[in-house]
Amino acid sequence: MSTPFRIHSGRAVLAAEVAGSGDPVVFLHARVADRRMWRAQLDGIGANHKAIAYDRRGFGETHAEAEDFSAVEDLMAVIDATADGIPAILVGCSQGGGIVLDAALRYPSRVRALVLIAPNVTGAPEAIYPPEVERLRLQLMEAEKTGDVDRALAIRTRLSLDGPLEPEGRVVGEARETFVDMNRVALRSPPAGANLDAESAYPRLGEIAVPTLVMCGDLDIPNTQDRSRYLAAAVQNGSYHEISGVAHLPSLERPAEVTRVIAAFIERCSGREA
């Protein structure tokens, strides 16, 4: 059972929810999601810890007046409001993972450990995509630019949920319904403003000393898989876990497995085995 929170950061009111009590574990969603992508993890991790998830600006139930902002400082506002002064374990997927890495470099004393799922990395070399992936990416950028919500939604679903090299419609049921609804909300949200964070985490990965678990699905974009493996090797205390048969959002496709792996990692960080 989770409790809703509303957290002020600048001109934004961030919609959050907290489940359980104990050591804080904060979840940051992908650009193609909102905090609902962590529903199973909030329930599972919240059984033994304080699990916290929030909607970033432009997503879900968060309301924000347009202004330039810092995604890292929004995260710090959430931690300040919910973590009781205890260093947090940060869990981030995709764009959320990039924010987590930037926060860990800017505020190392506030971070106890990291879980990164198919993460972005600020300052990483420009990606080279297979031709079929590049074609879809260009079509998506054009659809988003022109405000073609239905076309953008279809391409996002193919790229992130089905996997760009897999058959369209591979994922069905509740996971697909949740993905579509999350993205329909985001695509229709007004502009939130520019993110002013200017970190370049890629050349500084070796500075990250906290335990770091990196996960990625084997149906994700090949470049994302390569970057995830590189990150796990580049940080001081990293490990890599491949999830078979899933694309960019394992927490939706394999919620029980993702929850189990995160829970086991948290227990190892605590000197205990799950």
Give the model confidence (pLDDT) of 61-86 as tens digits. Answer: 999 999 999 999 999 999 999 999 99
Residue 190 has pLDDT above 50, yes or no: yes
Rounded to the nearest 10 degrees, how much is the dihedral formed by the CA atoms of 141, 145, 151, 155?
A: 20
User: What mean pLDDT value characterizes the chain?
Assistant: 96
The answer to whether position 245 is within a domain reads yes
How many structural domains comprise the chain? 1
- 151 located within any domain: no
Residue 259 counted as domain residue = yes
Res 270 pLDDT > 90: no
Residue 145 lies in a domain: no
- 108 in a domain, yes or no? yes
CA 165/CA 156 separation, integer angstroms: 13
pLDDT of residue 274: 42
190, two tokens: 């007004």
The CA distance from 117 to 98, in Å, is: 10
Tens of pLDDT along 217-262? Answer: 999 999 999 999 999 999 999 999 999 999 999 999 999 999 999 9
Q: Is residue 66 part of a domain?
A: yes
C-alpha 67 chain-centroid distance:
22
Contact 134, 115 (CB under 8 A): no
Rounded average pLDDT over 26-39: 98
What is the Cα 124 distance to its own chain's centre? 17
Higher-confidence position of 1 and 12: 12
Portion of the chain with pLDDT greater than 90, in percent: 96
Q: Is the dihedral of CA 183, 185, 187, 192 positive or negative?
A: negative
> How many other C-beta atoms can be found within 10 angstroms of the C-beta atom of residue 129?
16
Q: pLDDT > 70: what percent of the chain? A: 99
**How many Å separate Cα 263 from the centre of its chain?**
17
CATH code (residue 27): 3.40.50.1820
Domain that holds residue 117: 2-126+191-269
Which amino acid is it at 207? E
Model confidence pLDDT, tens digit, residues 34-58: 999 999 999 999 999 999 999 999 9
